Amino acid sequence: MIIALKPGVNIEEVKKLTADLENLGVKIDASQGSSQIVLGLVGDTTVINDDALRANHLIERVIRVQEPYKRANRIFHPLDTVLEFPGAKIGGSSFTLIAGPCSVESRDQLVAVAEAVKKSGAAFLRGGAFKPRTSPYSFQGMGCEGIDLLVEAKKATGLPVVTELMEISQLELFEDIDMIQVGARNMQNFNLLKELGRSRKPILLKRGMASTMTELLMAAEYVMAGGNSQIVLCERGIRGFDNFTRNILDLSIVPALKKKTHLPVIVDPSHATGLSWMVPAMSKAAVAAGADGIIVEVHNDPEHALCDGEQSLTPGQFDSLMGVLRKYAEIEGKAI
Ligand code: PEP
Ligand code: MN
- 110 plus 209 within the same structural domain: yes
Residue 75 domain-assigned (yes or no): no
Q: What separation in Å is there between the alpha carbon of 50 and the centre of ligand 1?
A: 45
Q: Which domain holds residue 59?
A: 2-63
- The answer for 65, left when phi > 0, alpha when psi is -120 to 50, beta otherwise, is beta
Q: What separation in Å is there between the alpha carbon of 183 and the centre of ligand 2?
A: 10
Domain closes at, from 14, 33, 63: 63
pLDDT digits (tens, 9 = 90+) for 28-60: 988 887 788 999 998 888 888 888 999 999 999
The mean predicted confidence, pLDDT, of the chain is: 96
CATH number of the domain enclosing 119? 3.20.20.70
- 58 plus 105 within the same structural domain: no
Give the model's pLDDT for residue 61: 93
Give the model's pLDDT for residue 33: 77
Q: State if residue 100 touches ligand 1 by the CB under 6 angstroms criterion.
A: no
pTM for the predicted model, two decimal places:
0.92
Give the model's pLDDT for residue 113: 98
Give the model's pLDDT for residue 32: 83
**How far is the first Cα of the chain from the last one, in angstroms, to the nearest whole number?**
37
Q: State if residue 299 touches ligand 1 by the CB under 6 angstroms criterion.
A: no
**Residue among 164, 187, 211, 295 whose CB has most ligand 1 atoms within 8 A, to mutate:** 164
- 254 plus 131 within the same structural domain: yes
CATH number of the domain enclosing 13? 3.30.70.1140
- 48 plus 152 within the same structural domain: no
Q: What separation in Å is there between the alpha carbon of 132 and the centre of ligand 1?
A: 8
Q: State if residue 206 touches ligand 1 by the CB under 6 angstroms criterion.
A: yes
- 53 plus 169 within the same structural domain: no
Residue 68 domain-assigned (yes or no): no
- 144 plus 198 within the same structural domain: yes
Residue 221 domain-assigned (yes or no): yes
Residue 70 domain-assigned (yes or no): no
pLDDT classification of 229: cutoffs 50, 70, 90: very high
Instruction: Return the percentage of the chain with pLDDT > 70, whole number.
Output: 100
Residue 102 domain-assigned (yes or no): yes
**Residue among 113, 192, 268, 298 whose CB has most ligand 1 atoms within 8 A, to mutate:** 268
Q: What separation in Å is there between the alpha carbon of 168 and the centre of ligand 2?
A: 21
Stretch 102-129: mean pLDDT, rounded?
98
Give the total number of structural domains in the chain. Answer: 2
Q: Atom 3 in ligand 1: which residue has the minimum CA distance?
A: 102
Stretch 248-270: mean pLDDT, rounded?
98
Residue 276 domain-assigned (yes or no): yes
Q: What separation in Å is there between the alpha carbon of 306 and the centre of ligand 2?
A: 10
Give the model's pLDDT for residue 46: 83
- 102 plus 240 within the same structural domain: yes
- 40 plus 134 within the same structural domain: no
- 50 plus 150 within the same structural domain: no
Stretch 299-303: mean pLDDT, rounded?
97
Residue 77 domain-assigned (yes or no): no
CB 232 within 8 A of CB 209: no
